[in-house]
Structure 1
């Protein structure tokens, strides 16, 4: 398949997977606390990845472990908790929309920190996509007046971490296989995640006997396998075969999927948000125009 077509295929598949992850987080929070959800997500994903690629660890060079560790904490560990806390107050669809800040932060960090050049088309596309995201946020705030948008800070923090992670993979882990990056990430962060579980009172009858516990674990397993383990490998590969900005553009398409699931779950969505979604897609096109 043409390399250009492959990167678009990865982008679409990741958009569907990650766009569906927000509703899975929302459902998992019914029977789990944000701390438990974040830690279990890391543990479950780590186990899935070890089963698939534990042999890949042997190929990692000593000098690469530092960047694998940083990538793991910025791209997976801390965001798992930040998104869980955010969705205790903000709808899953709005959370996905705020996540669209990733490409803008990717360009800013790429230029200021990692010295990665971006074209005028990329910058214009990101700005237009961000404008569409702002339109979605504004219209969502009008519809959902009972939501605490202070929790949006958690999402903004996560987007900065995601942007840094994209640039780290592109600059320092370009020659490491996508699966190896994911396995290396989680071999580092699974230990602190287990410690969090042990210290957070998870292993108690109060948690295990909760009427919604088993259902939440089911949603979390699906989230960990598809939304984190498989998606991480696909995303790492996408970063390597495309530009950091193109890879982070997945956050422009995710809200379309997330809003679809949100509407099915009873969340409000207006005509203005449909227009904003079209603006976002325009931004994706321009950001990747040669």
Structure 2
């Protein structure tokens, strides 16, 4: 399998996984609070990686361990809580568009904080792609007389902050962790996150929930699926993609998510 083909395959898989994450977050709201959804998500992602982390921990250089853990906090832990809270009030289409600010954040942070020299063609390509994505999402809604609610501006800012954190994490991984094995980085970093998320779940009364409730059961399973697929598997694939194809290409996955969402809606309408 060629490197280019493998990169595009991972790209498409990530689009599908992260595209479905929005629905799983919505489904999880039936029986869990936003904080519980995020905590279950990251705890589940870390829990499935604990057996692997035991073997991979010693393979992480000691001088890089702090950065590996910081990457999990910036790239997984904090965004999970921000998105879980924001999605309670925002339309998924708007959330998808805002999430697509990630490549722009990657470019801006790379230039101003990491002193990257990015070709102007790539910068304009990212901007043009974002504008095109917005138009492809908004125009069909205008034709169908649908609207995107711009209320709850504070919740909009939560996703903007999350995309900034994603952009920061992509640059951290690309500059400081690219030489490490992506599987080692993902398993160790997420396994460590079971400690803070386990504490949060305890504080939030997770063990006091009515586990006989169908709504609670469904929400927990949706959050666990979100964690295993949307955080654990996706993080490994994303780090591999950064290593294979570079930071900017990897961040463009967020452009594919709304497109797949729109394509899925189109198929549903035809049915």
Quick check: TM above 0.5?
Answer: yes
Aligned partners of 1:22 and 1:258 also within 8 Å: no
Cα displacement string for residues 98-150 of structure 1 (whole angstroms, at most 9, x for unaligned residues): 10000000001011111222112210111112213443676669614485343
Query: CA shift at 1:52, angstroms?
Result: 4.2
Aligned residues: 265
Aligned partners of 1:105 and 1:159 also within 8 Å: yes
Query: CA shift at 1:165, angstroms?
Result: 0.5
Q: Secondary structure at the match of 1:126?
A: helix
Deviates more, 1:76-85 or 1:223-232: 223-232
Would the alpha carbon gap of residues 259 and 200 (structure 1) be closer, same or farther in structure 2, given more than 3 Å must change? farther
What TM-score does the superposition give when structure 1 sets the normalisation length? Answer: 0.84
* Rounded Cα–Cα distance in structure 1 between residues aligned with 2:255 and 2:132: 9
From 224, 227, 231, give the equivalent of 1:228.
231
1:1-290 alignment, distance < 5 Å? 1-135=1-135, 143-145=147-149, 148-205=152-209, 207-260=210-263
Q: Secondary structure at the match of 1:43?
A: helix
Q: Secondary structure at the match of 1:143?
A: coil
Aligned partners of 1:53 and 1:179 also within 8 Å: no
What TM-score does the superposition give when structure 2 sets the normalisation length? Answer: 0.90
* Rounded Cα–Cα distance in structure 2 between residues aligned with 1:6 and 1:42: 27
Would the alpha carbon gap of residues 243 and 94 (structure 1) be closer, same or farther in structure 2, given more than 3 Å must change? same
Cα displacement string for residues 181-223 of structure 1 (whole angstroms, at most 9, x for unaligned residues): 1112113322111111111122214x43444011112212221
* Rounded Cα–Cα distance in structure 2 between residues aligned with 1:70 and 1:50: 18
Would the alpha carbon gap of residues 12 and 86 (structure 1) be closer, same or farther in structure 2, given more than 3 Å must change? same
Aligned partners of 1:94 and 1:137 also within 8 Å: no
* Rounded Cα–Cα distance in structure 2 between residues aligned with 1:148 and 1:28: 21
* Rounded Cα–Cα distance in structure 2 between residues aligned with 1:145 and 1:182: 36
1:288: which partner in 2? Answer: none
Q: Secondary structure at the match of 2:101?
A: helix
Question: Which segments of structure 1 move beyond 6 Å, counting only runs of 4 or more?
Answer: 262-266
**TM-align CA RMSD:** 2.2
